[in-house]
Structure 1
Amino acid sequence: MNNRGTNLDTVRRYNLSRILGLVHREGAVSRSVLTRETGLNRSTVAALVSELAALHLVVEAEPDGARGVGRPSPVVRPHPDCVAFAVNPEQDAITVGVVRMHGEVVAQVRHEIDQPLGVAETVRVTAELIAGLRAELPASAVVVGVGVAVPGLVRMPDGLVRLAPHLGWVDEPVATLLADATGYPARAANDASLGALAEHNFGAGRDVADLIYLNGGASGIGGGVIIRGTPLGGVGGYAGEFGHNLVTAPDGPDQPSTGGALEDEVNRGRLLDLLGLKSADPAQLERALLESDAPEICGEVERQLGILSIALRNAINVLNPELVVLGGFLGSIYAANSELLDRLVAGQTLAASYEGVRIVRATLGADLLLIGAAELAFEPLIDDPARLAGSVATPV
């Protein structure tokens, strides 16, 4: 909720949101810290925590190994039964996960496909995967909704996929269709923007106000930007499409480029071909890259890092971040020769803009996009737990 309002109920709902937001971000917070951070008195915090516990959103426990004088302050944690379903459709697979608050992926299934599926078939397969995962959850589970990380342009207000070129989707209401198919509230957004949010909340970008995130996957390269702690969405939600920026010159002054976009030149498919792999999950691809000493593999990694350095130079010069986070196969090629990329970016970027910039790998690993998609589902609940209590915050 964005405003306190003036009546007591509005203030109560606002404070419920503040408490749940702190527990969501920190994972475990003592009541004394909640009191200090919110400025509320102890009895008010206790009442708010009790209300959230009754909704199966948080649990309280005595701190582990508590010693000292006086009664220790109870620790508040996200309720383990409160979960979201997270979905990431790609060219080669549909991955669905069960994610708890504070970014803990507790189950997932990867459904491999030979070619990208249309939206109707994607929704059908996803609904079946969700039903299978739901059957394995306890009866007390609180399912807050479904979040979808889409490799494409997704309109912010309603989750309409305007364009997902690698999936062949144009103006597809995937969130609405999934909500109808599963019975859960569903929201969709760009995968890399959600990856940026996940790394900012729980990963390499914790406590960093300004960062750029670039993700490389089967469907190309996307990005997300956090400015002063807030995701940069743009007017429609399409900000961060670094993969479509040109990194080589057009064919002529009056000719459009026939290639040369970042995701054309820095490409997962090229790596798989050279490694002799038809497909691979992120861990398999990275293992194959790091274990190979074949000259053609090393040369391709160096070529792709050189192209990537151009994109990072441009982004750093424009946005002046504190941190650049590389996810997906971009993190893997960085791991293969991090010194090369660091040197190339440092040598090309304006000295003042590069001061203090760090380039790091995403720390959430293969779960990153699932965690980001789940954040999309948790957001309305955290914004107003009381409003949603009667609809989604009920054990099914």
Structure 2
Amino acid sequence: MAERRGSEGVRSGNLAAVLRLVHLHGPSSRARLTALTGLNRSTVAALAAELVDLGLVEERAPEETNRVGRPSPVLAAHPGVLAVAVNPEVDAVTLAAVGLGGQVVVRERVETSTLVTPAETAELTRAAVERWQAGPLVETHLVGVGLAVPGLVRASDGLVRYAPHLEWRDAPVRALVEEATGLPAAVGNDASLGAVAEHRFGAGRGVDDLVYLNGGASGIGGGLVVAGHPVAGAHGYAGEFGQNRPGIAATADRRAGPETGAAVLEDEVSRARLLDAVGLRSADEPTLAEAIATATDPAVPAEVDRQRRVLATALANAVNVLDPSVVVLGGFLATLAAPDLAGLRDAVAEQAMTGVADDLELRVAALGEDRLMIGAAEAAFADLLADPLRLA
């Protein structure tokens, strides 16, 4: 995208500022947008009108108030502006259409009996887009596709360098999806995108320094927000908490590599082990949580307790290094944590350095199973939010 200069650049930047505020904060009055942007009222009115003309927002009647004077019109994201979100996993591909503001409009889960390939992912995306545009999304505008992939995604070009559980290596999934759908695509690590979603719309909203850990069928990944900004690392690979070695103190707690204690976190804290304990081959997170809660076999709570102990050690290591104010847990990690969040927090604090965990909060991801869909959509919306004139 060519850089805009002079007055056009200022105009584009101001449009982006207003659109981003509506995107992140929901329907907002012109008066509120004026206060938040620091622009004058006439400028905000002109920007609002232009965003309406672009089809990105709609203007609604002002809410009734007891204040003296004429109430200010309200700007809201246009419900017809959507991004497609895709999350390929080892047991299913989840697809959704997500609107500005993080609203999931359509969602599908396609279960797979074999590992999905990059080409199959592109074809599933194409088929969903065609089906939706002929049905529930017939009068909408799709701005792009965001893919949340459980693996190492190179930031410079979206190439999936390695997704071990999917057995993808140097997979050009972005190019395949763009060719299949005709839409621009963006690719990111699933947990990193989940961190963005929870920071902007969920349990990490308003938190400047947080660690997010996501547990899925492909293992454990994470994301970092430092001083209010997502941290990707030099190549986009930051947040691979699942590959850390937690240093399990009790030999009895080790399951993978018990002789050497060399297993990484996701070998020991594992969704597959939980499914095996409750006797399920596959399940979504609500089903898994229900199976754990209703289990009568004492081996189930024993496995949950073991995984919580190992997870506490891993979280203490992260807290010691990064000093976050909040740790957000998503996926099956939320299932592990939710029944006794305070107990897990205390176990982390016991292993962290003195003072570091004094004010630490552990929170369960607020967006549930939508977190990766919303995060993937944020990647697809990024160019539009940076420059709304790209639709002109």
**How does the TM-score come out when normalised to structure 1?**
0.93
| 1:64 CA drift (Å) | 3.2
Question: One-letter code of the match for 1:40?
Answer: L
1:374 is matched with which residue? 377
Q: 1:260 to 1:227 in 2, by over 3 A?
A: same
1:114 is matched with which residue? 113
For 2:38 and 2:340, locate their aligned partners in 1 and report how far apart those are by CA, in whole Å.
48
Question: One-letter code of the match for 1:234?
Answer: G
Secondary structure (helix, strand or coil) at the match of 1:337 reads helix
| CA displacement, residues 117-175 of structure 1 (integer Å, 9 cap, x when unaligned) | 12112221222122222322444312110000000000012110000000000000111
**Correspondence 1:279 to 2:282:** yes
2:14 is matched with which residue? 15
For 2:24 and 2:188, locate their aligned partners in 1 and report how far apart those are by CA, in whole Å.
20
Unaligned runs of 5+ in 2: 252-258
1:209 is matched with which residue? 208
| CA displacement, residues 38-83 of structure 1 (integer Å, 9 cap, x when unaligned) | 1111111111111111111111112334443221111111111111
For 2:246 and 2:114, locate their aligned partners in 1 and report how far apart those are by CA, in whole Å.
28
Question: One-letter code of the match for 1:115?
Answer: T
| 1:352 CA drift (Å) | 1.4
- Cα contact 2:328–2:365 (8 A) shared by 1: yes
1:144-223, aligned counterparts within 5 Å?
A: 144-223=143-222
Question: One-letter code of the match for 1:337?
Answer: D
- Cα contact 1:96–1:130 (8 A) shared by 2: no
Q: Which runs of 4+ in 1 moved over 6 A?
A: none
For 1:138 and 1:121, locate their aligned partners in 2 and report how far apart those are by CA, in whole Å.
23
- Cα contact 1:305–1:340 (8 A) shared by 2: no
- Cα contact 1:85–1:98 (8 A) shared by 2: yes
| CA displacement, residues 335-394 of structure 1 (integer Å, 9 cap, x when unaligned) | 1333431221111111211121100100000111000000001111000010x214xxxx
1:300-379, aligned counterparts within 5 Å?
A: 300-379=303-382
Q: Greater shift after overlay, 85-94 or 128-137?
A: 128-137
Q: 1:116 to 1:125 in 2, by over 3 A?
A: same
Q: 1:29 to 1:357 in 2, by over 3 A?
A: same
1:78 is matched with which residue? 77
For 1:262 and 1:140, locate their aligned partners in 2 and report how far apart those are by CA, in whole Å.
46
For 1:88 and 1:259, locate their aligned partners in 2 and report how far apart those are by CA, in whole Å.
30
Question: One-letter code of the match for 1:91?
Answer: V
**Correspondence 1:93 to 2:92:** yes
2:265 is matched with which residue? 262
1:385 is matched with which residue? 388
Question: One-letter code of the match for 1:260?
Answer: A
2:256 is matched with which residue? none
**Correspondence 1:231 to 2:214:** no
For 1:111 and 1:243, locate their aligned partners in 2 and report how far apart those are by CA, in whole Å.
25
- Cα contact 2:95–2:109 (8 A) shared by 1: yes
| 1:259 CA drift (Å) | 5.0
| 1:258 CA drift (Å) | 8.2
Question: One-letter code of the match for 1:264?
Answer: D
Question: One-letter code of the match for 1:266?
Answer: V
1:245 is matched with which residue? 244
For 1:65 and 1:89, locate their aligned partners in 2 and report how far apart those are by CA, in whole Å.
46
Secondary structure (helix, strand or coil) at the match of 1:59 reads strand
> What value does the CA root-mean-square deviation take over the aligned residues?
2.0
- Cα contact 1:94–1:126 (8 A) shared by 2: no
| CA displacement, residues 236-263 of structure 1 (integer Å, 9 cap, x when unaligned) | 10000000001247x9xxxx96851000
Secondary structure (helix, strand or coil) at the match of 1:73 reads coil
Q: 1:274 to 1:105 in 2, by over 3 A?
A: same
Q: 1:139 to 1:121 in 2, by over 3 A?
A: closer
| CA displacement, residues 5-36 of structure 1 (integer Å, 9 cap, x when unaligned) | 76211110110111111111101111011111
Unaligned runs of 5+ in 1: 391-396
For 2:365 and 2:22, locate their aligned partners in 1 and report how far apart those are by CA, in whole Å.
23
Q: 1:9 to 1:342 in 2, by over 3 A?
A: same
| 1:235 CA drift (Å) | 0.6
Question: One-letter code of the match for 2:358?
Answer: E
**What number of residue pairs does the alignment pair up?**
384
State the identity as a percent: 50
Secondary structure (helix, strand or coil) at the match of 1:354 reads coil
- Cα contact 1:56–1:142 (8 A) shared by 2: no
- Cα contact 1:127–1:181 (8 A) shared by 2: yes
- Cα contact 2:122–2:180 (8 A) shared by 1: yes
Question: One-letter code of the match for 1:354?
Answer: A
1:393 is matched with which residue? none
- Cα contact 1:84–1:144 (8 A) shared by 2: yes
1:32-111, aligned counterparts within 5 Å?
A: 32-111=31-110
1:123 is matched with which residue? 122
